[in-house]
Amino acid sequence: MIAVRTEKLTKRFKKLTAVNAVSFEVNKGEIFGFLGPNGAGKTTTINMLSTLIAPTSGHAELEGYDIVKNRNGVRRSIGVVFQEPALDSRLTGRENLEFHAHMYGMRSGERKSRIAEVLALVELEDKASLMVNTFSGGMKRRLEIARGLMHRPAILFLDEPTLGLDTQTRRHIWDYVKKLNSETGITILLTTHYMEEADALSNRILILDHGRIVALDTPAQLKNVLGGDVIELSATGDTTSFAAKLQQEPWIQSAAVQEELVRLTLEKAETKVAAVVEAAVAGGLTLLSVNIRKPSLDDVFIHYTGKTIREENGDKPASRGKRGGHHDHG
């Protein structure tokens, strides 16, 4: 069963094509991750699917409802947890849920039972009578998830659900999202800047770049695309020239640079470490550390987009790796 289907979904803003003929399907009950650098078209895609903006062309359906012809049907079928907090801090947790239930026209008896259900689901029953301005960041996110579930949507949009939370709280939110998905079968569309989050939660991940789909698969399969191992060198010197030179070697699959860090993807890395170190020294680099590991979703993202996702931290884009062999589903 398909929860979301898009066909050549496109959005243009004057001369800018923000989303370019994007086609994909999301299965019912799936946690589906959206990844992409800033400006890749993630937010625009989500805004079209949630009926906040109309597409320029193309077609999309959520739970069988057309996003243009039956926006009310779509809106009844979805819950949205926005990146920016949208709770009223002057109300209690329960009052926030009451207000949301009124907005959806829920009757008194149904409101009370549903509020009890969603509070139990996010484990906030004992905090429901407290003012929201006393809540921690994690409690606020859990309450927002509860609010998004009040009207029993078939699809839940989670936009950067753990942005700004500490590591421990972030992992707790992951646990709630997994529990929610397994216990209710709800379809979840997730956007995140945290690779570990996308890897931990998503059944499949779609990577957008310049408005097009550059990859779509399970986290495991995406990492398998790179194959082999990753050698990371922390070094001072002309790392860009060093990476460009190694890129020419037939046994190097990809080479990417982020400031003083060089990432090399290759088969049987342990047999090539000596050659890599010799090349670094010959290239005038001063090595600080050398590390061998299996590919991560970070490496996949760099492979497909040529940059890291952490641009909000002011990191410089990485140089582009070899990108041959990927399928452009857009």
Concatenating the DSSP letter of every residue in 17-63 gives EEEEEEEEEEETT-EEEEE--TTSSHHHHHHHHTTSS--SEEEEEET
What b/e readout covers 267-279, taking b as 16+ CB neighbours within 10 angstroms? eebeebeeebbeb
Residues found in the chain? 330
The confidence score (pLDDT) of residue 93 equals: 94
Q: What is the largest CA-CA distance in the chain?
A: 76
Q: What mean pLDDT, rounded, does the chain reach? A: 87
Residue 95 has pLDDT above 50, yes or no: yes
Task: Tell which residue, 262, 229, 258, has the closest CA to residue 243.
Answer: 262
Output phi, psi for 235, to 5 deg.
-155, 155
Confidence of residue 162 (pLDDT cuts 50, 70, 90): confident
The confidence score (pLDDT) of residue 110 equals: 87
Both structure tokens of 22: 């994007």
Both structure tokens of 256: 């990417």
Residues 6+ apart with CB under 8 A from 124: 93, 139, 142, 143, 146
- Tell me the C-alpha distance between 122 and 21, whole Å: 37
List of domains in the chain: 2-217 (3.40.50.300), 222-313 (3.30.70.100)
Q: How far is CA 182 from CA 26, 150, 201, 271, in A?
A: 16, 17, 12, 43
The per-residue pLDDT for range 165-215, each reduced to its tens digit, is 888 888 988 988 998 899 889 999 999 888 899 999 999 999 999 999 999
The per-residue pLDDT for range 118-152, each reduced to its tens digit, is 998 888 999 999 999 999 988 998 999 899 888 88
Residue 300 has pLDDT above 90, yes or no: no
Asked if 47 and 53 count as a contact pair (C-beta separation under 8 A), the reply is yes
Both structure tokens of 220: 């495991």
- Which residue's entry shows tokens 């078209």? 41
Q: What is the DSSP string of 223-291?
A: HHHH-SEEEEEEEES-HHHHHHHHHTSTTEEEEEEETTEEEEEESSGGGTHHHHHHHHHHTT-EEEEEE
Residue 71 has pLDDT above 90, yes or no: yes
| Segment 95-102 mean pLDDT | 91
What b/e readout covers 10-37, taking b as 16+ CB neighbours within 10 angstroms? bbeeeeebbbbbbbbebeebbbbbbbbb
The confidence score (pLDDT) of residue 316 equals: 37
The confidence score (pLDDT) of residue 132 equals: 93
In this prediction, what percent of the chain has a pLDDT beyond 90?
Answer: 50
| Segment 115-120 mean pLDDT | 91
Angle at 196 between CA 192 and CA 197, to 5 degrees: 45
Q: Considering the entire predicted model, what is its pTM?
A: 0.81
